[in-house]
Amino acid sequence: MASEDRWEWDSIPWLDSCLKAQAEFLALATGTQVAEPIAVHDLSASALFKNLAYYGLYGDVMDRTETQDIEGHLDGQLRLAKTLKEKAPSRCDDRVVSKIIIVAEGRRSIERKTGLIEPLGLAILGGVSEGRVRNLMSGTSAEIRSINGKIPAPDAEHWLQGRAAFWPSIWSEEPVLEEENEMTAVRVPQASDGTVFHPGLRRRSGYMIGEKGKELTIENYDAALRALSEMDVPRWRRPNPQGNWGIVKASGWTVLTRQDLNNIKD
């Protein structure tokens, strides 16, 4: 969500257009102009859609420690988001908020192992285009079963298990300090030769990540890993067999335990 395509998940333009439409209606109905524009970023709806986008994409909630009933909280947020979309002026482009709702609903269906998922929702979760998913759903030898143009949740879950781009839901797990649990699963970028970004790649000043000319040096491994996850194409420096440090780029992602990562020496 911090990458260059973050605007694809930004509900602010839609909320702003809704408020302008409301102001125009009030002006026509009352014969007076609305004096003070509302600060869109301060609306609770702005946080609502941001939270739902984060949940849909990554399977977690931003305010986990402040929420007692997370499952009920998610269901309530989804209901409210759908109501806002339905009640909004029809002239406002709701493409972004529709996408947020679709992917969040898709994840909820997968978690519950019931219901049908929109092709767009499965495509986003799996990191492919909607056209690719629709192609996999079509023909006599379709790889993904469909019902009325949508995918049953169990079939969607099965297909996503083979997708490196998919983030399994973790909101129900107890938060733990990764450094204190050697068996914690960690999602790391993997180069085309099978090597991964691991703690042993730290140089004297820290981990060097990013494309040539725009590299960052980050002291902490987990912070560097988070920064890599926000890049369109993760890149990092690592030594080749001759000991020369060069930049490699990720061809995908894999999951290893923290113990396995700490044991990698090259």
Residue of 165, 132, 161, 166 whose CA lies nearest to 233: 165
Cβ-count burial 171-201 (b if 16+ within 10 Å, e if not)? beeeeeeeeeeeeeebebbbbeeeebbbbeb
Q: Is it the case that residue 181 has pLDDT exceeding 70? A: no
What pTM, to 2 d.p., does this model score? 0.64
Select the more confidently predicted residue: 70 or 85.
85
Reduce the DSSP state of residue 255 to 3 states and report it.
Answer: strand
β-strands 207-209, 185-191: how paired?
unpaired
What contacts 227, CB < 8 A, 6 or more positions away? 209, 210, 216, 218
- 140-158 per-position pLDDT tens digit: 888 999 999 999 999 999 9
- 218-249 per-position pLDDT tens digit: 888 888 898 898 888 899 999 988 888 999 99
Of the pLDDT bands very low, low, confident and very high (cuts 50, 70, 90), residue 3 is very low
Residue of 72, 76, 16, 77 whose CA lies nearest to 42: 16
Mean pLDDT of 1-12: 66
Q: Is it the case that residue 37 has pLDDT exceeding 70? A: no
Of the pLDDT bands very low, low, confident and very high (cuts 50, 70, 90), residue 2 is very low
Percent of the chain at pLDDT > 70 equals 89
How does DSSP classify residue 150? B
- 73-112 per-position pLDDT tens digit: 899 999 999 999 999 998 999 999 999 999 999 999 999 9
Q: Is it the case that residue 40 has pLDDT exceeding 60? A: yes
208, β-bridge pairs? 217
185, β-bridge pairs? 257
